[in-house]
Structure 1
Amino acid sequence: MWASWNWLGVACWTLAVIILIFAVHNIRKRRLKMLVTQRRHFSAANFGLDLLLIVIVAASFGTMIYATFLHTDTIADSSAIQLDYRYRPLVMQTRGDQVYLVRVHNGSGHTPIQTYTYWTEGSKYQINSRDATISTGKKIVPAEAAAYPWPTKSMERMENNTRSSFVAVIKATYKNTPFNGLGMHAGRAASYHEIIRIPSDLFVYIDNPATK
């Protein structure tokens, strides 16, 4: 989603490029003039102005590179990040004699990624193990997802109302603020994670179990 403050970033990047072009043109013009009219290869005044322009160019590009590519906000920073939570009660599935709430497909390679498939009322969802965690223990939020600020009371209500059969979703979005706009992040997704909560491992169906 493109937010209004992102135009600030576009304008500042444009200004940084204009400053660079002006600096290169100005330095070249003054050096040529010094060589032709003054027949000199060095001037303290010219050198000082060159340094000033180089510092301005470095500062403008450094600021924009930091804001656009290097700056990161913590997910709990409410001044920069908007958090949204959603909950989806799970619907039981059957395959032969087995009933399950989530189906797992194991990936391949040196660092295999699992794909989780689950169903809610009228919908089917798929997500990989980088963006989701299956929770079956006493704690609703497993250690793998504990870095996210989950709402404890809402999670406990869903735990009781669904008998531990639901999906909790957290979506973090950059707010439409001037600094987020400077880096052209405003309105864009910052982070996403799901907890697939099921009563026990018995409700997991694995398509292709890993074998030794």
Structure 2
Amino acid sequence: MKSSWNLIGLIFWIALIIYAAFVVHNIGVRRSRIILNNNYSFSWKHLYKTLAQLIILFLGLGFIIFETFNSNIRAKDVSIKREYNPLVLDTNGKNSYYVKVLTQKAPNLNQSYSYLIKNKINQVSSNSSNVLMGDNNAINIPNFAFDWKKQSIKKLDDHYQKAWVIKVKATYKNNFLNGIGMHAGRQAHEYTLIRVPDSSFIYKN
């Protein structure tokens, strides 16, 4: 486990299993008592108790399943770390470029982007990245990743001459709700935004 907060989720699951076993046992015991008392008529009291126990069980189950398997990342649930770097021109002997687009042979596979920073080649999938070209700021950016403001982009453009990359890492915070979902301390998502001056700085393999 990444965080001791995730023990909350484990405790919740164990408590829910114990409660489910109790409900099944309790329904059986109450039904047996009715039969032993030679009362075979319909019992509203027994029905109300059974419904109340089942409602509590399914509400608890629904809540913990939602918190555990919900894939939507809420900004309030994660802490954001951003790393900015200037892009370095790369070359294949003929062309100079900031980004190399690698296309997979299989048509159902997404492409990936290769770029150079700090004399190290990095490669990211297009599933978790995007390339921003020229003056086009109208691209889909995950809500958790940025406060998408033209002012911020302009500052980066002025500083890095429209050739930069930002890597955003979202990590689930150590808190009660993330603990219930057993996400606390785990990486929620990683996103990379690559900025180039224009399309001539992109090389397609």
TM-score (norm 2): 0.85
Q: RMSD over aligned Cα, in angstroms? A: 2.4
Match of 1:96 in 2: 93
Summarize the alignment of residues 58-69 of structure 1 with structure 2, pairs less than 5 Å apart.
58-69=58-69
Measure how far apart 1:25 and its partner are.
1.1
| CA distance in 1: counterparts of 2:113 and 2:56, whole angstroms | 51
| CA distance in 1: counterparts of 2:73 and 2:200, whole angstroms | 39
TM-score (norm 1): 0.83
Match of 1:200 in 2: 198
Identity %: 29
Measure how far apart 1:112 and its partner are.
4.3
| CA distance in 1: counterparts of 2:45 and 2:18, whole angstroms | 23
Match of 1:161 in 2: 159
Match of 1:39 in 2: 38
| CA distance in 2: counterparts of 1:138 and 1:73, whole angstroms | 29
Q: Secondary structure at the match of 1:184?
A: coil
Q: Secondary structure at the match of 1:117?
A: strand
Quick check: 2:5–2:179 contact (8 Å CA) kept in 1?
Answer: yes
Measure how far apart 1:114 and its partner are.
0.9
Q: Secondary structure at the match of 2:104?
A: coil
Measure how far apart 1:170 and its partner are.
1.8
Match of 1:210 in 2: none
Measure how far apart 1:150 and its partner are.
4.1
Which runs of no fewer than 5 residues in structure 1 stay unpaired? 208-212
Quick check: 2:88–2:119 contact (8 Å CA) kept in 1?
Answer: no
The one-letter amino acid of 2:114's match is: T
Summarize the alignment of residues 76-155 of structure 1 with structure 2, pairs less than 5 Å apart.
77=76, 80-109=77-106, 111-139=108-136, 141-145=137-141, 147=143, 148-150=145-147, 152=149, 155=153
1:33-55 CA distances to partner (integer Å, 9 max, x unpaired)?
A: 332x2233343332222222212
Which runs of no fewer than 5 residues in structure 2 stay unpaired? none
Match of 2:168 in 1: 170
Measure how far apart 1:172 and its partner are.
1.9
Give the counterpart of 1:183 among 171, 181, 184: 181
Quick check: 2:100–2:115 contact (8 Å CA) kept in 1?
Answer: yes
The one-letter amino acid of 1:61's match is: L
Q: Compare 42-51 and 14-23 and name the one that shifted more.
A: 42-51
Match of 2:30 in 1: 30
